[in-house]
Chains A and B, each alone.
Chain A
Amino acid sequence: EVQLLESGGGLGQPGRSLRLSCITSGFTFGDFAMSWVRQAPGKGLEWVGFIRSKTYGGTREYAASVKGRFTISREDSKGIAYLQMNSLKTEDTAVYYCAREGANWGSFDYWGQGAPVTVSS
């Protein structure tokens, strides 16, 4: 059974950093691209960033709202994807989901349960 589980959420201060982990099981993690998607309280979904599998170079893309502040990485041997969030802003407050890009390119076929992040002083 494919499972994704986010951890590391919580309270962060403006200007400081937090790191989220997405711990996966039930599939060959290294074969899949991964994304992070967030949802601010009462709002819609916003794509945050994407990391390709090593087969496709392991390169990354980011939304304009987080580019230069957030970094996605992966540790294929452990089946974990990370979201390093630096220079946090209050508008980064959201539930953060990790999602697997499935066999149908461009779609997210499995999602984690979400990790809440609150940025406040």
Chain B
Amino acid sequence: DIQMTQSPSSLSASVGDRVTITCQASQDIRTYLNWYQQKPGKAPKLLIYDASNLETGVPSRFSGSGSGTDFTFTISSLQPEDIATYYCQRYDSLPTFTFGPGTKVDIK
């Protein structure tokens, strides 16, 4: 089974800061990687699909990059409404889906 790791598990940053989260797969997953935002008590929301494509309606301060085993998610300028937990998610052709353990983002 392909395992997903994320780092850090949590972070605190100031409004306006650049925030970067990394996601690593235990095997090559090409660009089969998505990113979600989940606010407390709410359902997840798709932000980035296929590693680097911004979902319609998602602010451009969110971005993703990477391929193979190493991926990066970036918030270019952290806003108060970005307080949430962020998950990467891989998929394959079977299909099966695996989420990373999540990164909790707080305001410093």
By size class, the interface of chain A is 20 to 34
Do B49 and A107 touch (CB < 8 A)?
Answer: yes
B55 contacts A109, C-beta separation under 8 Å: yes
- Which residues does B use to contact A, with CB under 8 Å? 32, 34, 36, 38, 42-46, 49-50, 53, 55, 87, 89, 91, 94-102
With A44-B102, A106-B34 known as contacts, the answer to whether A61 contacts B44 (CB < 8 A) is no
User: Shortest 5 CB-CB distances between A and B: which pairs?
Assistant: A106-B91, A111-B43, A47-B97, A45-B99, A107-B49
Assuming the A-B contacts A104-B53, A106-B91, A107-B49, are A47 and B44 also in contact, with contact meaning beta carbons closer than 8 angstroms in the complex? no
**A63–B46 Cα gap in the complex (Å)?**
21
Residues of chain A touching chain B, judged by Cβ–Cβ distance below 8 Å, are 35, 37, 44-47, 50, 61, 63, 97, 102, 104-109, 111-114
Q: A44 and B43: CB pair below 8 A? A: no
B38, B53, B96 interface centre (most CB from chain A within 10 Å): B96
What are 22 A-to-B residue pairs whose CB atoms are below 8 Å? A44-B101, A45-B87, A45-B89, A45-B99, A47-B99, A50-B96, A50-B97, A61-B96, A63-B96, A97-B44, A102-B49, A105-B91, A106-B49, A107-B50, A107-B55, A108-B34, A108-B36, A108-B44, A108-B89, A109-B46, A111-B44, A113-B42
Chain A neighbourhood of B43, CB < 8 A? 97, 111-114
User: Are B46 and A108 interface neighbours, CB within 8 A?
Assistant: yes
**Residues of chain B within 8 A of A106, CB atoms compared:** 32, 34, 49-50, 91, 95, 97
CB-based contact A61/B95 at 8 Å: yes
Could you tell me the distance between the alpha carbons of A50 and B50 in the complex, rounded to whole angstroms?
A: 19
Check A107 against B46 for contact (C-beta < 8 Å).
yes
Q: How far is the CB of A34 from chain B (nearest CB, A)?
A: 12
